[in-house]
Amino acid sequence: MRCMLIPPVLLIAVACTQPGETATTTGPDVEAIRTWVEQCAAAYNTGDIEAALALYADDPLSMPPSDAVMNRQDTRAMLETFFGENDVQVTLQADEIVVAGDLGVLRLSYSESWTPRGEGEAGEQEGTWLVLLRKQPDGSWKLWRDMWSAVPPPATEAM
């Protein structure tokens, strides 16, 4: 027996469509979400907390791996600490974008590195990021819900 795996992003988008709406992977809303990705990378790479938070809806929830759900205030505090202590370089790759009405589902791959401005160790990680965006009354797209997962580096073998 053969199983077919349906991408979770498509399932979310289809489940959130209203009667008569269809999910799409092309068009002006998809392009607007691609622009959102570019703006997000630029905000992180410059350490601009206000620009980063401007990409979030008023009521976002973030679900970091192995941690409590974060609201807007928690996200601000996390960014203030991270950007305040580190120089950051982020690369974002939109792997899949699906729009269904006023909901956009975005699956990204990311890589990031950070260099402490003072004490501490430099680091890097790669991972995946799932973002649900909501279209705002002004037509912009903002992060409404998200979760991410770091991909562990390959294990090194003992010599």
CA angle 46, 154, 79 (to 5 degrees): 25
State the pTM of this model: 0.81
Q: Is the model's pLDDT at 40 over the cut of 60?
A: yes
Determine the pLDDT at residue 125: 94
Alpha-carbon span 20 to 121, nearest angstrom: 53
Q: Is the model's pLDDT at 159 over the cut of 80?
A: no
Residue count of the chain, please give it: 159
DSSP 83-151: HHHEEEEEEEEEEEEEEETTEEEEEEEEEEEEEESSSS--EEEEEEEEEEEEE-TTS-EEEEEEEEEEE
